[in-house]
A and B are shown apart, each in its own frame.
Chain A
Amino acid sequence: MASLVPCPHCGARPREEFTIKGAALVRPAADADPAAWMDYVYLRDNPRGRYDEHWHHTAGCRRWLVVTRDTATHEIAASREAVLGAAGEARP
């Protein structure tokens, strides 16, 4: 029915404006071990609790975000620019 997602650029916006890609994983290096690629492409944790996901504000600012969502309560603890690290600093 409804839920609001905080966008760091647009404020709280309805969920319908967003597209969810899934777990916010770091892409392995091109020459990484095949097992690392297998994990990245196919294997997902299924935690009960906080989970970092890539969300795209498709009908808004069109930025890719990392949204920290509780899978049990749907509570959103944080959202940030995907390009930024957890502490709000540029990723190494």
Chain B
Amino acid sequence: MTPYRLPAGGLIDRRTPLSFTFDGKPLTGFAGDSLASALLGNGRLLLGRSFKYHRPRGILTAGAAEPNALMTIGTGGRTEANTRATMQELYAGLEARSQSRWPSLAFDIGALNGLLSPFLGAGFYYKTFMWPAPLWEKLYEPFIRKAAGLGTASYTADPDTYEKCWAHCDLLVIGSGPAGLAAALTAGRAGARVILVEEHAAAGGMLLSETAQIDGKPAQDFVAQTMAELASLANVTMLLRTTAFGWYDGNVFGAIERVQKHVPVPLAARAVERLWRIVAKKALLATGAEERPLVFGGNDIPGVMMAGAMRTYLNRYGVAPGRQVAIFTTNDSGYALATDLEAHGIVPEIIVDSRADAAFPYQGKARVVTGAVVSDAAGGKALSSITVLRNGETETVAVDALAMAGGFSPIIHLACHRGAKPLWSDAQSAFLAPGNLVGLDLAGSVATTSGIAACFEDGARKAMALLDEISVHTTPAAPIAVEGDIVSPPARPLWTVPGVKGKAFVDFQNDVHRRDLDLAVQEGYGHVELAKRYTTNGMATDQGKLSNVNAIGLLAEARGVSPDDVGTTTFRPFYTPVSFGALAGASHGHDFQPVRRSPLHDWARRLGATFVETGLWYRSSFFPRPGETTWRESVDREVLNVRAHAGLCDVSMLGKIEICGRDAAEFLNRVYSNAFLKLPVGKARYGLMLREDGMIYDDGTTSRLSENHYFMTTTTAYAAGVMNHLEFCAQVLWPDLDVRLASSTDQWAQMAIAGPKARRILQTIVDADLSNDAFPFLAAREVSLFGGALHGRLFRISFSGELAYELAVPAGYGESVAEALMDAGALHGIQPYGVEALSVLRIEKGHVTHNEINGTATAGDLGFGKMVSATKPDFIGKAMVGRPGLVDPERAQLVGVRPLDPETSFRTGSHILALNAEATLENDQGYVTSSAYSPHIGSTIGLALVKRGASRHGETVTIWNGIRNEFTPGRLCDPVFFDPENEKLHV
């Protein structure tokens, strides 16, 4: 026999049937169903195979702790594996597929593992697969990966969007059962900002599964009335379908809202999931309690279910678990189920109460056997009978459903997320939340309160107390009158069920059974943390919500100690799995990081630039022309054209910092290693910044625009870092200096105009005289452009070694100024050039970048020894730059390198060996930091950091590429390959 839908009852909408499929078979449920209740309503009991033994599994719970009924839902990019059928709302067209089965759910080859189970016990990974080692890769691992594991992820991109947001409140209430509702009402009526979080689609918690009456009405009516009042309060926010999954520093809670996981096709304009970070002045955990399974043989056979879950299916979803139902209980709560079953005309076959002294005043028709246990359940894919053991005598009872009521564990997870350990209570037979929590309290059954009325009162009282602490004064919601509530006092736990013959599962999802735990203790792995890893108990996606407490109880019994002595493993976020999509939010694909485009981006794009990503920036790499078939052709042309005529290059992405104040000169003098005090107004100077350890940090030019106004440029990569560093120097190291800093990187479009004809071209738009006398090398001034129509800043500085200028204009004018220069320069052969050509030009001149300033290079290493002032009283790096290791003549120094045969080449990163030396680490003398093909030299050229490099010009060496096994004979040389006398610079 099987479960079935009752003709009436439940909170489902029977006028709205919904079609869905399970493993391709069309089925029908109702609006308000969970996928689990819809499957049960269709008589489906077998829903999956277990992880290790591939045993048939059904549905165990009606909530977040479900270990068995995991399925893959959706198709294509919306495929979602390991969805708990108990948490998934049914929608029209839902496609669900079972997992962990092959070739089919009913006939599964992996079930043979069950026969091998004596070899698959605790620690089997460690024992079985120790040797021979090569078999791991080839045999064991592929086999285990295929056989084990849960659902399979889709390889198609997720088409949906996710978002993240922050929220703030006076009181966060987690859970909307009687305690949560009372707290929200109490706080809401007093005007406090309240956020109420409920993980299901409907608020009410266990009240939705109750037959008790509140204030003379069904509990569900009371919930509806309360929710209506809360909805009318503008200061109360209700987040349904939202799981609070973690408690973090600063009383911040993480919560995941499943916005559109219950609809056939999500609206594209809305996120499907929303990750909340909720900053709560105070928070109340009203998460209730989890019912504990009982550990008897065959307790995993489809048809065995938690008693509370059975009540939920019965009362909330109108689904009966079977026709011949048995109840195995250790406490009074089992009788609540018996009463509800009888109300639907199902008289339980038997109630097995483990207590010899059970004294519940049961009035129903079912046979009650006290002092007895269910020792075993039988059946393959569906339960067929149970064995009842009493006083050494067994009795077999034919049943098709069995409820387990093993007592309750408060759901204290979030209260333990910040490191405090839970405490065992013998009186409550449960682990309770740690004491002295700050900003968080617990109310209702999570705080061991029993009964609806008491939980309601507890919620109201605790909310009042929490709000008192932040001076929000409230009146607790008035108590409620409850009838028909079966209040179950805590009962002694039944860890070991006597007389068990079959496999008695503790962790259903990871297939850990009772004997595995015994074995762990026997073999010396009885410590709770060791037993977890040895048996894998509690390591599945459900994180041991049902299994951990039973495992601890069993370990305690096996070791002859109290559960208090065993203790728990650590509770960590997330309470339930959170999708990567939600954690990533909008930061994926194209939006993974912001894109920075220069003010000249569109100008370069119109000229056909190929762009390259450098950090966040898109830089123009080169500008191919018709007929050019390789990038090298384009780059060679651009390089030759700069040296022969002129080129225009976008350098807007350099970091730009305005530095002002009476002490700006002194400030610069301390942050640069070279002297800046005497830089005249109207002049630029190359500057070197060190770190305190003496290594070079960054370089750039700084110009003095007026007495107390300087303009600094940094390298593109270190722009943000240098700004932070300068602020540290100004605010922390030398707050007495009068200096102000402002980043203006985005405010200026900056272009380099380089080449022998640069002056003639620039002069057409610059009003001032640009002759060498009037505007010499390193001149830096504000200039008037286009007859006074625009003002910009002009710097006569050169990275290419040519007569060159950098012109900065307000960003918005960048494109039109660049176009004006291109128009004016057409006559003189101007061409745009990109960062590839820029790089070739600078390597030809031996100019360094962060390829050479790599964090291990000193100023001396790069030939800048004279730029480290010996006379300044202080600057960043001064104290350490003279350490013996930093001035060792054996250090790697900057040197040029070229192949002996111009037809041969080498790559950046290749190492330098003494000529014909063996390629070993010991013989390694340094490496190539930059390389390029130089059309002027007619071969590849490189810059390298080589031991004593500065004194080895002319030496023949071997250039070794260990990855490609290439050996290129080469020669060390002066790093300046082109115009070493700088004749072109000063014309």
Contact in complex: A19, B249 (CB < 8 Å): no
- Bound CA–CA A63/B732 (angstroms): 9
A47-83 Cβ-contact flags toward B at 8 Å (1 or 0): 0000000101010001110000000011110000111
Interface size class of B (residues with CB under 8 A): 20 to 34
Contact in complex: A1, B277 (CB < 8 Å): yes
**Chain A, range 4-33, C-beta contacts under 8 Å to B:** 4, 12, 14, 19, 21, 27-28, 30, 32
**Chain B, range 245-269, C-beta contacts under 8 Å to A:** 246, 248-250, 252, 254
Also in contact, A56 and B248, with CB within 8 A (given A37-B880, A41-B880) = no
- Bound CA–CA A38/B137 (angstroms): 48
B498 at interface (Cβ–Cβ under 8 A)?
Answer: no
Contact in complex: A4, B249 (CB < 8 Å): yes
Chain B hits for A40, CB < 8 A = 692
Contact in complex: B728, A3 (CB < 8 Å): no
B727 at interface (Cβ–Cβ under 8 A)?
Answer: yes
Also in contact, A1 and B731, with CB within 8 A (given A30-B873, A32-B879, A58-B724) = no
Main SS at interface, chain B: mixed
Contact in complex: B248, A2 (CB < 8 Å): yes
- Bound CA–CA A11/B735 (angstroms): 23
- A5 to B: closest C-beta gap in Å: 8
A88 at interface (Cβ–Cβ under 8 A)?
Answer: no
Which A residue sits closest to B245, measured CB to CB? A1
CB contact between A2 and one of B254, B692, B733, B878 (< 8 Å): that residue: B254
Contact in complex: B879, A1 (CB < 8 Å): no
CB contact between B735 and one of A28, A32, A62, A83 (< 8 Å): that residue: A83
Chain A hits for B873, CB < 8 A = 30
- A56 to B: closest C-beta gap in Å: 6
Chain B hits for A37, CB < 8 A = 692, 879-880
Contact in complex: B874, A4 (CB < 8 Å): no
Chain B hits for A2, CB < 8 A = 248-250, 252, 254, 277
Which A residue sits closest to B279, measured CB to CB? A4
CB contact between B248 and one of A1, A81, A91 (< 8 Å): that residue: A1
- Bound CA–CA A83/B735 (angstroms): 7
- B164 to A: closest C-beta gap in Å: 10
- Bound CA–CA A63/B731 (angstroms): 7
Chain B hits for A75, CB < 8 A = 249
Contact in complex: A82, B732 (CB < 8 Å): yes
Which A residue sits closest to B419, measured CB to CB? A73
- A80 to B: closest C-beta gap in Å: 12
Contact in complex: B248, A14 (CB < 8 Å): no
Chain B CB count within 10 A is highest, among A40, A54, A76, A83, for A83
- Bound CA–CA A91/B732 (angstroms): 10
Chain A hits for B878, CB < 8 A = 30
Contact in complex: A12, B279 (CB < 8 Å): yes
Which A residue sits closest to B254, measured CB to CB? A1
- Bound CA–CA A40/B279 (angstroms): 37
Contact in complex: A41, B693 (CB < 8 Å): yes
- Bound CA–CA A41/B883 (angstroms): 13
Chain B hits for A91, CB < 8 A = 735
CB contact between B724 and one of A3, A19, A41, A74 (< 8 Å): that residue: A19
B166 at interface (Cβ–Cβ under 8 A)?
Answer: yes
CB contact between B728 and one of A4, A21, A30 (< 8 Å): that residue: A21
Chain B hits for A63, CB < 8 A = 727, 731
B953-971 Cβ-contact flags toward A at 8 Å (1 or 0): 0000000000000000000
- Bound CA–CA A66/B13 (angstroms): 59
- B697 to A: closest C-beta gap in Å: 13
Which A residue sits closest to B742, measured CB to CB? A62
B573 at interface (Cβ–Cβ under 8 A)?
Answer: yes
Chain B hits for A42, CB < 8 A = 693
Also in contact, A64 and B279, with CB within 8 A (given A14-B166, A28-B879, A73-B419) = no
Contact in complex: B250, A4 (CB < 8 Å): yes
Chain A hits for B279, CB < 8 A = 4, 12
- Bound CA–CA A32/B692 (angstroms): 14
- Bound CA–CA A56/B726 (angstroms): 12
Which B residue sits closest to A24, measured CB to CB? B732
Chain B hits for A28, CB < 8 A = 879
- B936 to A: closest C-beta gap in Å: 43
CB contact between B252 and one of A4, A34, A41 (< 8 Å): that residue: A4
Contact in complex: B724, A56 (CB < 8 Å): yes
Contact in complex: B249, A3 (CB < 8 Å): yes
Which B residue sits closest to A19, measured CB to CB? B724
**Chain B, range 866-915, C-beta contacts under 8 Å to A:** 873-874, 878-880, 883
Also in contact, A41 and B248, with CB within 8 A (given A58-B724, A64-B731) = no
Chain A hits for B419, CB < 8 A = 73
- B195 to A: closest C-beta gap in Å: 15
Contact in complex: A82, B731 (CB < 8 Å): yes
Could you give 20 example pairs across A and B, Cβ below 8 Å?
A: A1-B248, A1-B254, A2-B277, A3-B248, A4-B252, A27-B692, A30-B873, A32-B879, A34-B879, A37-B692, A37-B879, A41-B880, A42-B693, A54-B728, A56-B724, A56-B727, A56-B728, A58-B724, A73-B419, A81-B731
Instruction: Give 5 closest A-B pairs by Cβ, nearest first.
Output: A3-B249, A30-B874, A4-B250, A2-B252, A83-B735
Beyond A2-B250, A4-B252, 8 additional pairs, beta carbon < 8 A: A4-B249, A4-B250, A27-B692, A32-B879, A54-B732, A58-B724, A81-B731, A82-B732
